[in-house]
Amino acid sequence: MEIAIELTTRAGTLLLVIAFCHAIAQRLRLSDSFVLTGAGVSLGFGYLALQHVAPHYAATTIAPFLSPALPPEAYLWVFLPPVLFQAAMEVETTGFLADIAPILLLAIGAVLAATLSVGLMAYLTSGQSLTVCLLLAPSSVPRTLPLSSRCSRAVAHPPG
């Protein structure tokens, strides 16, 4: 029961902050992510200042939010589906379908190529079996590598 109350309180507080930041972003015509980042930085500095001004209040009121009793998977299962749903609702289907070939090439082809190259190099240098090296290779390849390489090529050689 205590976990349910804690989760409800944290979710409600988080949603209140998000709603407040969204209203500010709409009013100032800024992006939501910019205002949310600013709010996070402001809350962090506010907590640091509050630790020096009123340490007892900070320890009893804010510190429980910083040391959650919930496992990390709980936050993943609670907050990730709405974020993914919102992102899926806002995607431009015409632009997405026009770029489906490069997206699939980078999402599948580049990841497979990076996995094979890292796995093969690990096999040649580590003495482990090829299966183990190929299974461990994806964990060493950053997920943003295909995206960053595509973006850097687009900046260096703009189309047209």
Mean pLDDT, rounded, for 24-38: 90
- pLDDT tens by residue, 47-105: 889 889 988 888 877 777 777 777 777 877 887 888 888 888 888 888 888 888 888 88
Hey, what amino acid is at 154? A
Phi-psi region of 70 (alpha: psi -120 to 50; beta: other; left: phi over 0): beta
pTM comes to 0.45
More confident residue, 129 or 146: 129
The set of residues, in sequence order, having a beta carbon less than 8 Å from that of 68 and lying 6+ positions away, is 6, 10, 75
Single-letter amino acid code for the residue at 48: L
